[in-house]
């Protein structure tokens, strides 16, 4: 059975377009689903950085506690065959909650390592389907700062199979934007 990790990042929760699209994607894919709502993930800070860059065998109990959520999030990724990411566009980029998740999962020695040839991802290969929703920012346009960013972050941790399902123009005509995205979902292979 396929293990699917669902990542929701909209502050609107189940009322968001991306939440509805991820529901449709999951119905299309099937599989065993783990759900992660990023809206409760804290931002990283200096204490977190200190813990992350301390060798595991030298971490204090406090440092281990600091990294416990990060460890859990990384374990979810590693256990998944497919990631389904709900990515609404706020002010041309990813949401704050999605950025908090990204910062928690990008960890040296866990999801990437540095080599003489540059960083090497350790979390792939995986399939990713991103449910992209924007009020008026077209996917891949010059003002879309989110899609290239999420592809770069995922590639950095070793995940390069990324597909986007886009509901563009939600602020103009939400029903039409969602219908276009649903048509894209129908073409996804399970």
User: Which residues line the annotated binding site for FMN?
Assistant: 10
Q: How many CB atoms lie within 10 A of CB 177?
A: 21
Cβ distance 94 to 16 under 8 Å? no
Q: What is the spatial distance between Cα 67 and Cα 61, in angstroms, rounded to a whole number?
A: 10
Alpha helices, DSSP H, located in 53-188: 61-66, 68-79, 96-105, 147-156, 170-186
Q: What is the spatial distance between Cα 21 and Cα 61, in angstroms, rounded to a whole number?
A: 40
DSSP state, residue 41: P
Joined tokens for residue 92: 């041309």
Cβ distance 165 to 184 under 8 Å? yes
């Amino acid at each position: 059975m396929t293990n699917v990790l669902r990542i929701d990042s909209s502050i609107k929760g189940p009322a968001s377009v991306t939440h509805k699209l991820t529901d449709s994607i999951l119905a299309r894919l099937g599989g065993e689903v783990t759900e992660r709502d990023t809206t409760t993930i804290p931002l990283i800070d200096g204490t977190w950085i200190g813990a992350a860059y301390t060798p595991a065998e030298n971490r204090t109990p406090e440092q281990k506690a600091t990294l416990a959520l990060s460890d859990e999030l990384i374990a979810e990724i590693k256990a998944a065959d497919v990631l389904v990411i709900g990515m609404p566009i706020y002010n041309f980029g990813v949401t704050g909650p999605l950025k908090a998740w990204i910062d928690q999962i990008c960890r040296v020695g866990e999801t990437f390592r540095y080599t003489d040839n540059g960083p090497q991802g350790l979390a792939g290969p995986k399939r990713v389907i991103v449910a992209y929703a924007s009020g008026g920012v077209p996917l891949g346009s010059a003002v879309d700062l989110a899609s290239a960013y999420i592809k770069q972050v995922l590639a950095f941790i070793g995940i390069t199979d990324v597909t986007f399902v886009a509901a563009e123009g939600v602020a103009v005509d939400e029903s039409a934007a969602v219908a276009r995205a649903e048509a894209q979902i129908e073409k996804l292979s399970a």
